[in-house]
Amino acid sequence: MNTVKKPLTPRLPVQKRRDVVENDEFAAFARRIIRAHGRRVATGDVEALRDLTALSAVIDQAITDAVIGLRAFGYSWAEIGSRLGISRQAAQQRWGGDQS
């Protein structure tokens, strides 16, 4: 029995695409949680007020991370600004730093 071994060829990882529909549902879920947190604070949980306000810093950092990721993925400042309803220049000034 004669067996011939085929040479191994390296496989490149395949980048998976995420569905936009899933993103919309996920964003709606996050909004519901934040609103629920606000309602909980409003019922007298004053100790949780600091946690609720700290979420704005977390959201700002998440937006910065998202924009940096989109730029690394190849999106232009014009495309990012368009999605946010701001100019290319405004997006670049806010998140670009010294990058172009």
- Per residue in 12-27, pLDDT tens? 555 555 555 688 889 9
Where are the domains positioned within the chain?
Answer: 23-95
Tokens encoding 98: 């010294």
- State the pLDDT at residue 23: 83
Task: List CB contacts of 81: < 8 A, sequence separation 6 or more.
Answer: 87, 88, 89, 90, 91, 92
Give SS3 for 50. helix
- Per residue in 27-45, pLDDT tens? 999 999 999 999 999 999 9
Q: pTM for the whole thing?
A: 0.68
Q: Give CA–CA dist 78/71, Å, rounded.
A: 11
Answer yes or no: is pLDDT of 64 > 50.
yes
